[in-house]
Chain A
Amino acid sequence: MRKKINNVAVIGSGIMGSRIACHFANIGVKVLLLDIPYEEKDSIKNNNGQSVRNKIVNTSLNDTLKAKPSAIYSKLFASRIKTGNLSDDISKISEVDWIIEVIIENLEIKKNLFQNIEKYRTPGTIISSNTSGIPINKLIEGRTDDFCQFFCGTHFFNPPRYLKLLEIIPSKKTDPELVSFLMSYGEKFLGKTTVLCKDTPAFIANRIGIAGIATLFKLSYELDMTITDIDALTGPIIGRPKSATFRTSDLVGLDTLNSVAEGVYNNCPNDEHKDIFKLPPFIKKMLENKWLGDKTKQGFYKKDRDSKGNRKILSLDLNSYEYKVQKKTKFETIEKAKKINKLKNRLPELIKGQDKAAQFYKKMFAFMFAYVANRIPEITNDIYKIDDAMCAGFGWEMGPFALWESIGIEQGIQLIESENLNQPAWTKILNNTKSFYKIENGEKTYLNINKNSQCKIPTLNKFIILDNLRTKSLIWKNQGLSLIDIGDGVLNIEFHTKLNSLGKDVIEGVQKGIEIGEKEFKGIVIGNQGEHFSAGADISMIFTLIVEQEWEKLNLAIKTFQNTSMLIRYSNIPVVVAPHGLTLGGGCEFTLHADSVQCAAETYMGLVELGVGLIPGGGGTKEMALRASDLYYQGDVELPRLKEYFLNIGQAKVATSAHEAFDLGYLQKGKDNITINTNKLIEDAKQKVLLLDNLGYTKPIKRNDIKVLGQEGMGMFLVGADTFREGGYITEHEQLMCEKLAYVLCGGNLSSSTKVSEQYLLDIEREAFLSLCGESKTLERIKHMLEKGKPLRN
């Protein structure tokens, strides 16, 4: 099946509907978003005629477009969504390639809608439902063969731009070719992890996820723990998002959670833990009180202000139903585990102790392992699908089976047994098995339960997974960085420090990589598969050198950083930088110096050095002066362009998507590109290296034709900074930083505009950077960032 998706209709404009519409707009698809017409009540007179009929859909979409974090990559993309209502505009669905239903979770209402859709739908058009609980096979009752053949469940997770899971649930009649098309399209075009599910209640992720939440509701009673305690134990410490359990529930909405739980309870008579889905009495009470979570402004948590107007967060006491400030409990287990960096090594520690936290983990894991084990083959035959779904849909770092493996398969079985929980027959044969997953020959395999042997995890589109290549293809490594051969003559430079910050090891490693690359490879990808590409330079090193007044060493360190950036651009082989997630400060500077950037759509790029009292000193300020100069044309007034770049750095702007990074000038049209699916990024970057090599890459010649504006530009920036200081928008120290920044961007206080070299700009950039290092208020800023992880304004 070769299909092209250019137009989709999304029916239902609630939170999910309008966000799904935004995500299709994100990838360049035209969207028709429909909802029921606004029926005028006698008391409300309309004066706009037609548009009033679209009031419901327009209000929903506008709310979604305003929400933060943004559902849309760039505000401009909103024009790709047209709105309409189901009475006046339903006939337009005949022109679309895919119709997606996202209306209320009610079988009869959905069936009526499908009946109506069938009148207008062009045969062969894909039609899918985003239902999270209604069996797909029930939805197609009464529909024609063509409808059924092209009908499938496509279940997105909220927020659909950010959560990576897309569950694909075929009915008995769905054309298998459509299923493989949707699996591949979801992955490649929508950037999702697509997981093929059976048509069982709540499918995979919600079934496991909600069982997990429900059991924690129960445990909180059994062990008399507060909700803040449980959130502290079920967040990042076990590789889950900060929102942990109850905060996640507030985000999802207790009503949604309850309806999924009820659905499972009513439709899964054979689930051995069915009772867990009958939620405890406090949930009923909360539902009655409309304490549903964020949508009603209070759930398990409630934001409030104290008498001084400062924000505070209260949490619900499940015994008294009062919102209280709850103290954090200290658990010995947590204190010990915190010190272990890697999740894989941390997990076994959690169940070793005797305190309440360890008891909690033993019970929680025992339940989780037993529950997922019993779901095979009910909801899927393959363990990796459960892990994939939980990671992509709930943002877990490790799925249940991977987690079980980390704790030890045998230990896991012992936990299940000590809690007297049911386990399926297949776990009995696991005695001698040490792992669910293995890496063989650079490829990941999983334990196939049916065959009781390791099988390759099938792939749809080509991905490079660095973890799989780490043992087989490692060329060189140090503490902070690895050089990995990713095949076809391409070398990957991977950072692996905390937050991928750039310290001595990374700088040395990049230089080493380029040295090896120039000798033995066609080209280089600088990319990694950590949570973020890089949070910036390692400021602790800078801090130490300042405190010790080692100015010469500091000068040398900055110079080495600059030289490394320059090496990225001026090497004999193409270097493609592949950023994703946070790409800040030095991470951004490296990116700016790539021959070409292959950027994940979800990349948050910015030069944020002013936050720590500095200006970009690794070539970033030089590069923005160069880029401004390249955009000047004959007769141009020039200054406004330079001002944009000045403000980007001066306000430490961070792009909220790769598209916005283009708008800010950090990415360049014609040179840099976007990959929607972050998992595919390294592969795409590698292909780009090969393309550049194929086209005949020649090392660029260093620039000495950069037009700087000198005093002409500085005058404006000095006045601008003074105006901002007078208006109280910036501090005196920030005014000083702005002046230094202006000095570099303008090429110093030259009397007239002048053409200068890159090295000249690098030298004054370094001079400005070092002079700020000598300011006590800069030192205060760096110290604050190191201690508190937040910028200080002084």
Chain B
Amino acid sequence: MEEVYIVQAYRTAVGKSKKGKITFVRPDDLGAQLIEKIVQKIPNFNKEEINDIIVGNATPEAEQGLNIGRMISLIGLNSVKIPGITVNRYCSSGLETIAIGSAKIKAKMSECIIAGGVETMSNIPMGGWKITPNYQVAKNHPDWYWGMGTTAEAIVKKYQITRIEQDEFAYHSHMKAVSALKNNLFKKDIIPIEIKKTFLNQESVIKNITYSFEEDEGPRQDTTIEKLGKLKPVFAQGGTVTAGNSSQTSNGAAFVMLMSEKMIKKLNIEPIARLKSYAVCGVEPKHMGIGPVEAIPLALKQANMSINDIELIELNEAFACQALAVIKEAHLNPDIINVNGGAIALGHPLGCTGAKLTVQLLNEMKRRGLKNGMVTMCVGTGQGAAGIFELLN
């Protein structure tokens, strides 16, 4: 088998989906600009050596439909020769694509692949424009279609997570993210995106402005546990899951460039890291938040490692309650999880998240001089995913 390496890993800053600087930016434009700039980072690289663009996306319809993977390739690379595909495993899509790309190169089906994900949650409602469950399933197993918030409340019930635990977890997520922002820790992750905006000013005159988007919008310096405690539950009467202790809805893109050993030698490129293992699993759909508990051991086993070998973890914070339940049930060390904040503070652009967390993980491992790290997340309709990365050099 051919060895495969990550040679580039970048993300855009993550924007808030409702009020943010990039609410109107299309996901294809966002993804295209990012891959264009990633490719430009390698001097004298012939972009037509890329074999495929694999794009994760959790709601591939409307602006994200029409095989957005192919559109991102066409718009971003200005060549018809590089194909594109869209992959959907909801919240692990961005990690799944890295696994698919790695596997294809390992199997010598490809030499070079750009893999990652993109999502803009501003324009497309959760679940899409037309939610049409299967009638028989809806009758017999309606919980297979429950909204994610409802599954979060089910986790609260099953694992006895309190409101205050959730709010404290959310608070710390924000504080860690605020501190990371202050210390410019994400600078190495992010490629600034140039935005052009045409709008009507207060006098109804058409105006054009351009600006650069380069800083995460989610973290709130002013939040407190008291403020979080005042928010009303949104998914259940007398529930504990609030907008404040759930992940934010966001827009963002993240991609890595994968190359075969042969190719990096030919181009004399220094590899950053490699994906050692990746596993997905299924759990009860109504307890989807617990997915990582099943997926982590599978990924560890594949890599022939124990949980103690993992030095840094990005555990996607879909909801504080499920993150807390996963930490408890999988016996994870909270000190090495989401050290720069998680999705509650930084946002969760669904299909992009897996790749975004990978970018963050690799840069933080490098900063800390660590070798083995993991990205893991729960996935809708009862799934979990975990990927283990090894930082090289």
Distance of A714 Cα from B142 Cα, bound (Å): 12
A718 contacts partner chain B, Cβ-Cβ < 8 Å: yes
Q: Which residues of A contact B154 (CB under 8 A)?
A: 726
Contact assessment for A728 and B131 in the assembled complex, using a CB-CB cutoff below 8 Å: no
B282 contacts partner chain A, Cβ-Cβ < 8 Å: no
Q: Is the interface of B mostly helix, strand, loop or mixed?
A: loop
Q: Which residues of B contact A749 (CB under 8 A)?
A: 135
Closest to B234 in A: A727
A111 to chain B, nearest CB (A): 38
Closest to A721 in B: B142
Closest to B135 in A: A711
Contact assessment for A718 and B138 in the assembled complex, using a CB-CB cutoff below 8 Å: yes
Q: Which residues of A contact B150 (CB under 8 A)?
A: 723, 726-727
Contact assessment for A729 and B237 in the assembled complex, using a CB-CB cutoff below 8 Å: yes
Contact assessment for B238 and A728 in the assembled complex, using a CB-CB cutoff below 8 Å: yes
> Which residue from A716, A722, A728 sits with its C-beta under 8 Å from B237?
A728
Q: Is the interface of A mostly helix, strand, loop or mixed?
A: helix
Question: Which A709-766 residues have a C-beta within 8 angstroms of B?
Answer: 711-712, 714-716, 718-719, 722-723, 726-729, 749
Contact assessment for A716 and B142 in the assembled complex, using a CB-CB cutoff below 8 Å: no
B158 to chain A, nearest CB (A): 13
Q: Which residues of A contact B139 (CB under 8 A)?
A: 718
Contact assessment for B133 and A722 in the assembled complex, using a CB-CB cutoff below 8 Å: no
A337 contacts partner chain B, Cβ-Cβ < 8 Å: no
Q: What is the interface size of chain B, counting residues whose CB is below 8 A from a CB of the partner?
A: 23
Q: Which residues of A contact B133 (CB under 8 A)?
A: 715-716, 718-719
A137 to chain B, nearest CB (A): 46
Distance of A329 Cα from B335 Cα, bound (Å): 68
Distance of A715 Cα from B144 Cα, bound (Å): 12
Q: Which residues of B contact A711 (CB under 8 A)?
A: 135
Contact assessment for A726 and B153 in the assembled complex, using a CB-CB cutoff below 8 Å: yes
Q: What is the interface size of chain A, counting residues whose CB is below 8 A from a CB of the partner?
A: 18
B132 contacts partner chain A, Cβ-Cβ < 8 Å: yes
Contact assessment for B236 and A722 in the assembled complex, using a CB-CB cutoff below 8 Å: no
> Which residue from B138, B145, B235 sits with its C-beta under 8 Å from A714?
B138
Distance of A714 Cα from B132 Cα, bound (Å): 9
Contact assessment for B146 and A716 in the assembled complex, using a CB-CB cutoff below 8 Å: no
Contact assessment for B131 and A727 in the assembled complex, using a CB-CB cutoff below 8 Å: no
Closest to B151 in A: A726
Q: Which residues of A contact B146 (CB under 8 A)?
A: 719, 722-723, 726
Question: Which B125-144 residues have a C-beta within 8 angstroms of A?
Answer: 129-135, 137-139, 142-143
Output the residue of B138, B143, B146, B154 with the most chain A CB within 10 A.
B138
Q: Which residues of A contact B235 (CB under 8 A)?
A: 727
Question: Which B211-244 residues have a C-beta within 8 angstroms of A?
Answer: 235-239
Q: Which residues of A contact B147 (CB under 8 A)?
A: 723
Contact assessment for B236 and A728 in the assembled complex, using a CB-CB cutoff below 8 Å: yes
Distance of A146 Cα from B327 Cα, bound (Å): 80
A424 contacts partner chain B, Cβ-Cβ < 8 Å: no
Q: Which residues of A contact B153 (CB under 8 A)?
A: 726-727
A499 contacts partner chain B, Cβ-Cβ < 8 Å: no
Closest to A709 in B: B132
Contact assessment for A714 and B135 in the assembled complex, using a CB-CB cutoff below 8 Å: yes
A402 to chain B, nearest CB (A): 49
Type the 1/0 row for B3-41, where 1 means its CB is closer than 8 Å to any CB of A.
000000000000000000000000000000000000000
Output the residue of B129, B143, B145, B153 with the most chain A CB within 10 A.
B145
Contact assessment for A637 and B129 in the assembled complex, using a CB-CB cutoff below 8 Å: yes
Closest to A714 in B: B135
B239 to chain A, nearest CB (A): 7
> Which residue from B130, B134, B138, B142 sits with its C-beta under 8 Å from A640?
B130
Distance of A638 Cα from B145 Cα, bound (Å): 20
> Which residue from B131, B236, B238, B239 sits with its C-beta under 8 Å from A716?
B131
Q: Which residues of B contact A728 (CB under 8 A)?
A: 236-239
> Which residue from B130, B134, B137 sits with its C-beta under 8 Å from A637?
B130
**Known interface pairs A727-B150, A728-B236, A728-B237. Does A718 touch B135 (Cβ–Cβ under 8 Å)?**
yes
Distance of A716 Cα from B150 Cα, bound (Å): 15
A792 contacts partner chain B, Cβ-Cβ < 8 Å: no
A724 to chain B, nearest CB (A): 9
Distance of A567 Cα from B153 Cα, bound (Å): 49
Closest to A735 in B: B142
A639 contacts partner chain B, Cβ-Cβ < 8 Å: yes
B384 to chain A, nearest CB (A): 22
Q: Which residues of B contact A715 (CB under 8 A)?
A: 132-135, 137-138, 145
Distance of A637 Cα from B130 Cα, bound (Å): 6
Distance of A726 Cα from B155 Cα, bound (Å): 13
Question: Which B329-362 residues have a C-beta within 8 angstroms of A?
Answer: none
A50 to chain B, nearest CB (A): 12
Distance of A716 Cα from B127 Cα, bound (Å): 12
B140 to chain A, nearest CB (A): 10
Output the residue of A712, A716, A726, A749 with the most chain B CB within 10 A.
A726
B375 to chain A, nearest CB (A): 30
A45 to chain B, nearest CB (A): 18
B240 to chain A, nearest CB (A): 12
Distance of A727 Cα from B236 Cα, bound (Å): 4
Contact assessment for A716 and B143 in the assembled complex, using a CB-CB cutoff below 8 Å: no
Q: Show 28 A/B contacts (Cβ-Cβ < 8 Å), sorted by A.
A: A637-B130, A638-B130, A639-B131, A639-B132, A640-B129, A711-B135, A714-B135, A714-B138, A715-B133, A715-B137, A715-B145, A716-B131, A716-B133, A718-B135, A718-B142, A719-B142, A722-B142, A722-B143, A723-B147, A726-B153, A726-B154, A727-B150, A727-B153, A727-B237, A728-B236, A728-B237, A729-B236, A729-B237
Which residues does A use to contact B, with CB under 8 Å? Answer: 637-640, 711-712, 714-716, 718-719, 722-723, 726-729, 749
User: Could you list 17 further interchain pairs (A-B, Cβ under 8 angstroms) beyond the known A716-B131, A729-B237?
Assistant: A637-B129, A637-B130, A639-B131, A711-B135, A712-B132, A712-B135, A714-B138, A718-B135, A718-B139, A722-B143, A726-B150, A726-B236, A727-B235, A727-B239, A728-B236, A728-B237, A728-B239
Nearest first, the 8 A-B pairs at minimum CB distance are A722-B142, A728-B237, A711-B135, A715-B133, A727-B236, A718-B138, A715-B138, A637-B130
